[in-house]
Chains A and B, each alone.
Chain A
Amino acid sequence: MIIQDRMNVTGQREIAKNIFEMKLTGKLVGEINSPGQFVHIRVSDSFEPLLRRPISIASIDYEAGEMTIIYRAEGRGTQLLSLKKEGDEVDVLGPLGNGFPVDETSPGETAVLIGGGIGVPPLYELSMQLTAKGVNCIHVLGFQTADVSFYEEEFMRLGETYIATVDGTKGMSGFVTNVMETIGDGFATYYSCGPMPMLNAVQTAYSGKKGFLSFEQRMGCGIGACFACVCETTDKTDKEYIKVCSDGPVFPAGVVSI
Chain B
Amino acid sequence: MNRLAVELPGLQLKNPIMPASGCFGFGREYGNLYDLSMLGAIMIKATTLDKRFGNPTPRVAETASGMLNAIGLQNPGLQGVMENELPWLEQYDVPIIANVAGTETADYVEVAKTISTAPNVRALELNISCPNVKCGGITFGTDPQQAHDLTAAVKEVSEVPVYVKLSPNVTDIKEIAKAVEAGGADGITMINTLVGMRLDQKTGRPIIANLTGGLSGPAVKPVAIKMVYEVSQVVQIPIIGMGGIAETADVIDFLSAGASAVAVGTANFVDPFICPKIIEELPAKLDELGVEHISELVGRSHRL
Contact = CB atoms under 8 A, between A and B. Distances in A.
A240 B266 CA distance: 26
A218 B70 CA distance: 12
A245 to B, nearest CB: 10
A87 to B, nearest CB: 23
A250 to B, nearest CB: 18
A247 B22 CA distance: 19
A226 B62 CA distance: 14
A123 B281 CA distance: 42
B125 to A, nearest CB: 17
6 smallest CB-CB distances across A and B, nearest first, come from: A225-B25, A221-B269, A225-B29, A228-B60, A218-B58, A47-B218
Contact of B268 (A47, A224, A225, A232): A225
B32 interface: yes
A225 B62 contact: no
A218 B59 contact: yes
Mostly helix, strand, loop or mixed at chain A's interface?
Answer: loop
Contacts of A50: 62-63, 65-67, 217-218, 266, 270
Interface residues of B, number: 35
A33 interface: no
B65 A230 contact: no
B206 interface: no
Contacts of A72: none
Interface string A217-236: 11111111111111110000
Contacts of B189: none
Interface in B248-302: 266, 268-273
Interface of B: 22-25, 28-30, 32-33, 53-54, 57-67, 69, 71, 74, 217-218, 246, 266, 268-273
B269 A48 contact: no
17 contacts: A4-B273, A42-B270, A47-B217, A48-B64, A50-B67, A50-B217, A50-B218, A50-B266, A52-B270, A217-B57, A225-B25, A225-B29, A226-B23, A226-B269, A227-B71, A230-B57, A240-B53
B189 to A, nearest CB: 19
B60 A226 contact: yes
Contacts of A47: 65, 217-218, 246, 270
